[in-house]
Amino acid sequence: MVLATIIRRELTSYFATPVAYVFLVIFLVLQGLFTFYQGAFFEREQADLASFFAYQPWLFLFLMPAIGMRLWAEERRSGTFELLLTLPIPLAVIVLGKYIAAVLFAGFALVLTAPIWITVNWLGNPDNGVIITGYLGSFLMAASYLAIATALSAVTKNQVVAFILSVSVCFLFLVSGLPMVLDAFSGWAPDALVLAIANLSLLSHFDNLQKGVIALSDLVYFAAIIGLWLWINRVLIESKREAG
């Protein structure tokens, strides 16, 4: 009941100002541009959403931190941070409630892209199983970005700083598996370390899902990223509370 109240409070705050609607419009416009124009959807003459999913990791890199940056930074800026923490509610519930609200908002944004899916089915006969796993990968990637952004929002009361920190950390997780990054380590680092860095990449785990491959290791990876950063979020908030 308490968790639902916090989720409702956060979701209401998103739509209390025009910011949420502006975000949704920007997200849908950019998603359409990347899919149909930058991704050369019509020129490829293939009934799939490869061009839709190809740019999502990079689009989410900026849009998800924009959603998460305000969750704790705004509480600290407005002076409601201390009041929120004095309520007889477990800190873990507050952290989880704020995070779930952000994830639901991101999920709603993804649902609004359904017309693109419908368009592909109208134009041809795509493999909808692959598209579903692609959407699952998109949702899990968005949730991972948001876990990072929510935690780093607790570091500062300045939303711009929180946004920059979130984008920077998400970028590191995104590119860690790229060849140019691995090449920088392969010359001197042990193979085990290079492999570990490659496995940290959000992009490689997302690629498996957008290709229609659901592997337990990928699901565990996303769950671990989300769980780790929610724990970091709780530790950061706890440290702020103890510091007074």
21-68 pLDDT tens trace: 888 999 999 888 888 787 677 677 676 788 888 889 999 999 999 988
* % of the chain beyond a pLDDT of 90: 32
Band (183; pLDDT cuts 50, 70, 90): confident
Residue 225 token pair: 């990223």
Give pTM, 2 decimals: 0.90
Residues 85, 66: Cα–Cα separation, whole Å = 24
Residue with the larger pLDDT of the pair 165 and 120 = 165
Note the pLDDT of residue 72: 82
Listed in sequence order, the DSSP H helices in 34-113 are 41-44, 50-54, 56-68, 70-78, 81-86, 91-111
Note the pLDDT of residue 232: 93
Note the pLDDT of residue 89: 80
Residue 119 has pLDDT above 90, yes or no: no
Give the mean pLDDT of the chain.
85
Band (86; pLDDT cuts 50, 70, 90): confident
Q: Are 174 and 206 in contact (CB under 8 A)?
A: no
Note the pLDDT of residue 104: 95
Band (158; pLDDT cuts 50, 70, 90): confident
Band (136; pLDDT cuts 50, 70, 90): very high
Q: Which tens digits make up the pLDDT trace of 89-109?
A: 888 888 999 999 999 999 999
Residue 243 has pLDDT above 70, yes or no: no
- Which residues lie closer than 8 Å to 1 by C-beta, 6 or more apart? none
| Mean pLDDT confidence for 114-141 | 89
Eight-state DSSP code of residue 103: H
Listed in sequence order, the DSSP H helices in 16-47 are 19-33, 41-44
Radius of gyration of the chain (CA): 19
Residues 131, 128: Cα–Cα separation, whole Å = 5
Q: The dihedral of CA 191, 196, 200, 204: what is its sign? A: positive
In the chain the first and final C-alpha atoms are separated, in Å, by 28
Tell me the CA distances in angstroms from 214 to 134, 135, 142, 209, one per residue in order: 10, 12, 17, 6
Residue with the larger pLDDT of the pair 117 and 39 = 117
Q: Are 155 and 232 in contact (CB under 8 A)?
A: no
